[in-house]
């Protein structure tokens, strides 16, 4: 699928069919994730691929009751290693959340091209997810996404216009 | 260009031709940026598009001497508004760096499909960039990228294998 079409078609999918995700599709979208750039090429990430239904169901309350997290046949949990991240992002951040943002967006754009749906999950209780998946202390859990075939209508939320978000040459008052 | 091809072809470009970037191409890649998802659809961003050569040259020392920032005909500076970002990312971050990561990666994948090069710039002195561009205090400067036609050979840095970055069902010891 054309990159622009993937960008236009991607949207947050909050209802999934029970149909399984083919392993070759899953491997391709994970490979697109793998190829993401990161600060100083640190690749400060581990992705946990959860297919087990019992574990997925446990993730629902940890994701503040978002039922579709348990409905999708696969959940990908993006974990981050701060010690592998670039420490001087603009002088005040490390690159970890930005790196993970890039990587999971690769996954999501690739998923669209495979007919699959995803949804950025930022609303979760980190300590609950940590306990369910056995993620060690010191490893950050940055975001999750279900992966599966969309059920129901796709909803595209409105975006600001280019005029609202672009300035030219300098900050405009 | 196919999304997978864009993912494979994108790499950090650190040498640019003087050729200008066509305005229609620039508009398309900025539109792909505009369509990026963000926490609670907050769209907490302003992108400053710098074409002015004098300003671009001033950005070079602010970007720790990365000469190619002044060489490319366009520099895009991603600014972030924390008050518009989702505040409960996993309970400990706001979504700003992650949101900007997604948006600029949209720009970069779209740019590849237009034959253009880009480069994530995280190494910069925020206060110097702020002064050059007149960015108000309270607005974060998250990242920059040059945009232009690549000069010289493209270098793809190695990535970890899938086996190194994927775990199944739970954290594996």
Among the residue ranges A86-100, A139-153, B54-68, B108-122, the one predicted with the least confidence is: A86-100
- Does the pLDDT value for residue B91 go beyond 70? no
Nearest to B117 by CA among B146, B77, B88: B146
Could you report the predicted ipTM of this complex, rounded to two decimals? Answer: 0.97
Query: Which parts of chain A sit beneath pLDDT 50?
Result: none
Distance from the Cα of B157 to chain A's closest Cα (Å) equals 8
B88 pLDDT tier (thresholds 50, 70, 90): confident
Q: Return the pLDDT at A91.
A: 62
Cα separations (Å) of B146 from A90, A131, B47, B76, B98?
16, 42, 12, 6, 20
The CATH architecture of the domain made up of A20-147 is: 3-Layer(aba) Sandwich (3.40)
Mean of per-residue pLDDT scores for chain B: 96
CB atoms within 10 A of CB B167: 19
Instruction: Give the C-alpha separation, A64 to B50, whole Å.
Output: 42
Q: Return the pLDDT at B42.
A: 98
Q: From chain A, pick out residues whose CB is under 8 angstroms from the CB of B4.
A: 28, 32, 110, 113
* Structural contact between residues A148 and A106, judged by C-beta atoms closer than 8 angstroms: no
B98 pLDDT tier (thresholds 50, 70, 90): very high
Distance from the Cα of B26 to chain A's closest Cα (Å) equals 12
Distance from the Cα of A123 to chain B's closest Cα (Å) equals 6
Q: Return the pLDDT at B112.
A: 98
Q: Return the pLDDT at A93.
A: 77
Q: Return the domain boundaries, chain B.
A: 3-152
Pick the residue from chain B with its C-alpha nearest to A106: B7
* Structural contact between residues A108 and B81, judged by C-beta atoms closer than 8 angstroms: no
From the list B51, B88, B159, the residue facing A35 with the nearest CB is: B159
Residues in chain B: 173
B173 pLDDT tier (thresholds 50, 70, 90): confident
Instruction: Give the C-alpha separation, B4 to A106, whole Å.
Output: 9
Q: From chain A, pick out residues whose CB is under 8 angstroms from the CB of B34.
A: 159-162, 165
Q: Return the pLDDT at A150.
A: 98
* Structural contact between residues B1 and A3, judged by C-beta atoms closer than 8 angstroms: yes
Q: Return the pLDDT at A152.
A: 85
Q: From chain B, pick out residues whose CB is under 8 angstroms from the CB of A97.
A: 89, 93, 97-98, 101
DSSP string computed for A98-146: HHHHHHHHHHHHHHHHTT-EE--B--S-HHHHHHHHTPPTTSEEEEEEE
Structure tokens at B141: 């400067």
Q: From chain B, pick out residues whose CB is under 8 angstroms from the CB of A78.
A: none
Interchain contact B53–A (C-beta under 8 A): no
Interchain contact A170–B (C-beta under 8 A): yes
Nearest to B145 by CA among B96, B110, B94, B95: B110
Q: CATH 3.40.109.10: does it fit domain B3-152?
A: yes
């Amino acid at each position: 699928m054309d990159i622009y079409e993937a960008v236009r078609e991607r949207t947050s999918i909050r209802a999934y069919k029970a149909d399984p995700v083919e392993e070759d599709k899953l491997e391709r979208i994970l490979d697109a994730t793998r190829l993401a750039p990161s600060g100083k090429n640190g690749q400060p990430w581990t992705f946990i691929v959860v297919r087990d239904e019992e574990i997925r169901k446990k993730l629902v309350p940890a994701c503040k009751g978002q039922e579709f997290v348990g409905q999708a046949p696969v959940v990908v949990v993006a974990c981050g290693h701060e010690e592998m991240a670039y420490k001087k992002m603009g002088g005040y951040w490390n690159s970890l959340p930005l790196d993970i943002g890039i990587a999971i967006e690769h996954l999501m754009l690739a998923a669209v091209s495979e007919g699959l749906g995803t949804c950025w999950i930022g609303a979760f209780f980190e300590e609950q997810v940590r306990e369910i998946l056995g993620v060690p202390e010191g490893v950050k859990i940055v975001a999750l996404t279900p992966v599966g075939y969309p059920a129901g209508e796709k909803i595209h939320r409105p975006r600001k216009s280019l005029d609202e978000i672009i300035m030219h040459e300098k900050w405009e008052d």
